[in-house]
Each structure stands twice: as structure tokens, then as C-alpha cells.
Chain A
Amino acid sequence: MALLQIAEPGMSAAPHQHRLAVGIDLGTTNSLVATVRSGLSVVLHDENGRPLLPSVVRYHGDGSTDVGYPAQAMQSRDPHNTIVSVKRFMGRGLRDLPDAGNTAYQFVDSPGMVQLKTVAGVKSPVEVSADILRVLRDRAETALGGELVGAVITVPAYFDDAQRQATKDAARLAGLNVLRLLNEPTAAAVAYGLDNAAEGVYAVYDLGGGTFDISILRLSKGVFEVLATNGDSALGGDDFDHRIYCWILEQAKLSALKPQDARLLLTRAREAKEDLTTHPEVRVTAVLGAGQLVDLLLTTETFAEITRSLVNKTLAPTKKALRDAGLEPEDVKGVVMVGGSTRMPQIQRAVGKFFGQEPLNNLDPDRVVALGAAIQANVLAGNRSDDEWLLLDVIPLSLGLETMGGLVEKVIPRNSTIPVARAQEFTTYKDGQTAMSIHVVQGERELVSDCRSLAKFELRGIPPMVAGAARIRVTFQVDADGLLSVSAREKNCGVEASVVVKPSYGLTDDEITRMLRTSQENAQSDMEARALREQQVEAGRLIEAIEAALGEDGDTLLNASERAEIDGGIAELRNVLQGQNHMSIKDQIEKLNHISGTFAARRMDKSVKRALTGHKLEELET
């Protein structure tokens, strides 16, 4: 007999009618899945009773995959094939990742999104995320005893269209139907707002393992509206660990540690941080590889002292978000704490002092986002009838288009609530102009070159008119998931063109192939493709020239080792030519040019000599 849950009055599901839905917090460090059971939102545990799933995937050569704790345990021993923090790469090209060089991964730059080389082949961040989501889906289906009708997945409020679309694709790849994407702070507010039925303006302070986000929300009559967001994508609990680690090095007068000692001390630092949440002081002890003993006493005061600047770094974005929302700290009725790092007493104190009130922390900060997502999923799956509540989110960056001179005209300003549609009229620049190129960009800067290019399309068939006579209405529309579509229409004759902005990545899925085709207009991928083609042509030309030269003079002008070096350089260039990375082709071209430089010089000498031999000086002077 199937087990039943208590439904809302009149909302019992018919047999075989499935309304099982979950909320998923797909986090940078850890992920969770939650559901509503008998009216109560709960996080689902794994078979060992652990609520968190570390967002770590390890790929094996035989095609099998480890996700979560087993993968995390192998992180330092198999860094190339163990992918952590993949969320940072979602919907991002190599050029978007300034710190790509500091990671252990072998990146492959492909149009739209980076890919990672592993023993199991090249994996896109979408596939890695899908592997995490699949484990959560299995966990949920085992726990709920049936197939899921869908899931609400949370994303950071600042995620752009490419990152949102990538998250949706990952879910689809994992066999999950996405009911909607929900901003993480909104999910946290849902968890608090409904459980506590509190109305007013709230701040959501989210300090996770590696990121900080602040959001200002308004809750009224069951309507959630995000007023503003801000944050720091490179600030989190890990930085606090690192401060303690540095303190240990300083106090114990250590320097130049072996990697395993450094790892041990970092672990001790993290443990000390966690212990200081509940204890006024902790002993930090460790025995290093060389037998050296570390034994220190760390007090909450010292900890607060050495991390003061980190705490203050969270308050600057907080002030900015409040300013964007047009509010003062005293307008905020409550502060919701999200993320395990908010357990630190100095954070609680600083946030409390800034807003002049105790922050809300009666829900587990690690779980609150998943719990809120589950509540929203439960509503969308049709398990509640009376509470017709609506969620409003904002777009994180302004959307606009390019005008003459490479300048950006903003059509939808940042922090506009979505869904939203805005229209603006434009006109022609030249007499008899029959087409107009529409370049959609995202960002706050004034120059197109400083903003992120989202799409490019052309409106053709404008009847020839004098400059300024055509009336072209461009409409920007952002749906509830934050996905953008842009259309342009000439009002006199009615010609129309439009584009749905979806990023392109190298996945084979039919849907995505179609997306790839439609995004051919996408300026960025065009540019990358062009750069790649240019380098390929250049490389081909160089190889041909050197090989021809080697055929003529290779045997006479080069000794065996010089010859081998040039041959090696050519082989290397042929090798990178197979790839899609124009930068590595370019580097190899330069390298080969350099290697063959001496050979070229000798050939030059030889031909000059040949040209001069047998001629008199006066013949040459004419």
C-alpha cells in the first residue's frame, strides 16, 4: 500500500495522479533537495541521513561517475577529473573567467561556454550540473516513492540569461521538468515569509562558502518583490578559513609549507571557525609532516579582529543595494540570514548593528533556500488552491541595444521587476536605409564594447525613406524565468523581426542544436569563430611555408636536433589545430615562428650569398 501524505482540504490527488514536486538548491559548494510533506517543507536526506550533497563530481575513465562525498574525498588526489564549484562556469566563456589559470582544470574554449577536459571526455558545466541534479532527483524519487512532476531550482539573483538557460538545460539533461527558476533570496524569503506570515521590507544576507549576495525584498499580502540585489562573487566562508590559516602561520612562525601540511592547517582552520560559533575559544593543534607541533589558542575576539575587514567587505554591497532600492537601514523590517557562514557570531553582530536589529535565524541557514524552493514547487505542482500568490523577481543587469557610435541605449533598467515588457522607438540614420541591425546587450556600461553581447539580428525590408522618417518599435520582453526576447517592427509598413536570446553551447541535444543555429547571429560566438578561422588559416599558411623550405634546405642548413625541433613544432601546431581554442593556436604559431627563426635567417643569408656570388660590385650598384 502506498503511503499517503495529508493534503490541503479538497486537494487530495487521485490515484496515479502525480503531484510530487521538489525544490532544489543547486549550490556552488553544496546542493540540497527539499519537498513539502503533509504541509511541511523538509529537506530530504541521503541513505546515510546526510542532508547536503557536496556539489562535486568525479569522472572515471570507464565512464562511471562519483557525485558528492566520495568525489569530494578524492578532490586533492584527482584534481583534473574531480570538478568542484562548477556553478562558477555555468554559461560562461573562457574570457569571462579571469581566474581560470588558477584552477586545476584543463579548459577547452568552445563557443558560448567553457568545457572541461576529463578522463571521461570533454564535459560541459551543464553536463556536470546535470550529474549533480540526477543524484538529487533519484534521492527525491526514492524518498517520495514516485516520479517527480517537476522541480523549482534556485539560482543567484545576479545570474544572467546565459547562466539561467544553462541551469535549465542541466535540469532537462537530468530528466527534471523545471517548473520555474527562482532567485535564491526570494526562495529564502518564501521560507520565512510563509512560515512566519510576516510582511514588510526584508534584506536577505547570503554568505556562502565562496560568494556573498545581498538582496532587498518587499513582502506584502503574499507578494514577494525583489527591490535590489548586490554582492561579491569572490567572498565567502573560505576567506575566513584562510585568515585563520594565515594567523596560524604567523603565530607558529611557519613558512613554505608542503601541500599536505597546508591542507591540514586549512582543515584545522575551518574546524576552528566552526567551533568558535559555539565556544568562546578553541585550541588549534596539528602535527606537521616534519614532526613540528602547532598548538595555539584562538579566541572569538582574535577571530573577529583578523576577519574584521572581510566582514566590512560585505557591508559595502549591502549599503549599495539599499541605495538602489531607495531605502535606509531602518526601513528594513527583518534580515534573513542564508548560508552556513552567517553562523559566525561576528557576522551576526555586524549585520545586527548595521540594520539596528537582531537578524532572523530561526531556520537553518544552509537549508532555507531549498525549503523555500520546495514551498514554491508545491504551489506550482497544484497542491494548494487558496493561496494564489505570485512571485516577482528583478533583472540583475540593464538590457539595451547598440546605437550609432557603439553606444548603449538602455531599454530595461536593472532591478526592473519581471515579467516585464518595454518598447522604445528608433529611426533610420541614412536616406533610403532599408535595413537596421539590432544588437542586444546587457550591462551597466555606456560603451557596447564594455557590455555583454547577447544577440544580434537584422530588420530588413524597411521601405526607402528619408533619414529619420521610419518608425521602428523595438520591444524587449523578459519572462518570469528571466529569459529575454526582443522584437523589432517598422510601424509604417509592418515588417518585423525578432530573436529569443539563448546562449549557445556545444551540446548535442536536439533542442540545443536548434539553439546553436538561431544564435548564429550572436556576436560573441561569431567573433570567436572568426578568430578561430583566422588563426587556422594563418597556421595552415605557416606550416606550408616551413615545409616547403625544409624540402629545399632542411638537409643542408640544419643539423639533426634543429631539424627535430622544427618538426616537433609543426606537429604540435597540427595538434592544437584540431582544437577549438584560437588562443592556443596563436601561441603555437608564435612558438613555431620563433623556433624556425634561425632557419629562416640562414636561408636568407644563403639566398643573399647566392644572389651575390659571381657578380661584380659595380653591377650591383646600378
Chain B
Amino acid sequence: MAVTLTEKAATHVKNYIAKRGKGVGLRLGVRTSGCSGMSYTLEFADEMNDTDSRFDSHGVTVLVDPKSLTYLDGTELDFVREGLTEGFKFNNPNIKSQCGCGESFGV
């Protein structure tokens, strides 16, 4: 079981955490909502919970709660620039369907 960051994503995350001035790492999650059933959450993590799974990827601590992990196993988080837009992208092998807007998905 693993969740990873690309090197580019890790560089950006480290930069953001340094600028923010606090935080132990990055928390990835999944919650049930949206038109295709589920959506991702991507947040700064200020503390680790006992039940969290912890991964280290290119020097960034990634925390995932156990419920989310079943849907996120094997996911790679990338940082991409599309025209004027830039941000993080989940490359998740578990996805079976996605809503048109791309903001939620099903497994």
C-alpha cells in the first residue's frame, strides 16, 4: 500500500509548507460527495492521528486516513501547469468513472 508524490509535486509542497511556516506534511483524503460519488481532499496537515498511514515521498510526509487509503492506494500526486492554470493532479489507478467537470469520481 502506498501513496506517492512526483518529484515536482514534492518540490511545490515543500515550498508551500515552508512559506506557511508550520505543518507536519500533507494530508490526502477522499470523501463521499459530488456528482460521481466521491471527491478528493488535499490539505496541509498540522498533526498526525493514530490511525493515519504515513508515507514519505521525496522528503514530504504524506498522511492518509484508513478509510481513504482503500480508494487512494497506488495514487501518485503530480503538479501540473495547464495554460495559465496550475495545481495538483491525482493519478489514481482505482478510478472507474469521473464526472464531466472532473471534480468528483467513482470507484
Contacts and interface: CB of A to CB of B under 8 A. Distances in A.
Interface of A: 1-12, 14-16, 37-40, 44-45, 47, 139, 142-145, 195, 197
B88 A15 contact: no
Contacts of A197: 21
A12 B41 contact: yes
B40 to A, nearest CB: 6
B16 A15 contact: no
B103 A9 contact: no
Given A16-B34, A45-B84, 19 more contacts: A2-B102, A2-B103, A3-B86, A4-B88, A4-B89, A6-B42, A8-B43, A9-B44, A11-B43, A12-B43, A14-B34, A14-B39, A15-B34, A15-B99, A37-B86, A39-B16, A39-B19, A40-B16, A144-B85
Nearest to B12: A38
Contacts of B99: 15
29 contacts: A2-B102, A3-B88, A4-B42, A4-B87, A4-B88, A5-B42, A5-B88, A6-B16, A6-B26, A6-B42, A8-B43, A8-B44, A9-B27, A9-B44, A9-B46, A12-B42, A14-B33, A15-B33, A15-B35, A15-B101, A38-B16, A39-B20, A39-B44, A40-B20, A44-B84, A47-B84, A142-B84, A142-B85, A195-B19
**Leading 9 A-B pairs by shortest Cβ distance:** A3-B87, A15-B34, A15-B103, A12-B41, A143-B84, A1-B102, A2-B102, A15-B104, A38-B16
Interface in B74-102: 80, 82-90, 98-99, 101-102
A15 B89 CA distance: 15
Nearest to B45: A9
Given A38-B12, A144-B85, A4 B90 contact: yes
B13 interface: yes
A222 B63 CA distance: 30
Majority SS at the chain A contact face:
loop
A426 B38 CA distance: 64
Contacts of B35: 15-16
B13 A6 contact: yes
A67 to B, nearest CB: 17
B13 to A, nearest CB: 7
User: Residue among A3, A8, A9, A144 with the most chain B CB within 10 A?
Assistant: A3
Given A14-B39, A39-B44, A40-B16, A3 B89 contact: yes
Given A16-B101, A143-B84, A144-B85, A6 B44 contact: yes
Contacts of A45: 84
Contacts of B19: 39-40, 195
Contacts of A47: 84
Contacts of A1: 89-90, 98, 102
Given A2-B101, A2-B102, A145 B44 contact: no
B53 to A, nearest CB: 17
A12 B45 CA distance: 12
A145 B43 contact: no
Contacts of B12: 38
B84 A7 contact: no
Nearest to A47: B84
Contacts of A7: 41-44
Contacts of A139: 84
A3 B101 contact: no
B44 A3 contact: no
A18 B103 CA distance: 11
A143 B86 CA distance: 8
Given A1-B98, A15-B33, A38-B16, A6 B85 contact: no
A47 B83 CA distance: 8
Contacts of A15: 33-35, 39, 99, 101, 103-104
Nearest to A194: B21
Contacts of B98: 1
A45 B83 CA distance: 11
Contacts of A39: 16, 19-20, 44
A197 B21 CA distance: 10
A324 B101 CA distance: 55
Instruction: Please indicate which of the listed interface residues B13, B102, B103 has the most CB atoms of chain A within 10 Å of its own CB.
Output: B103
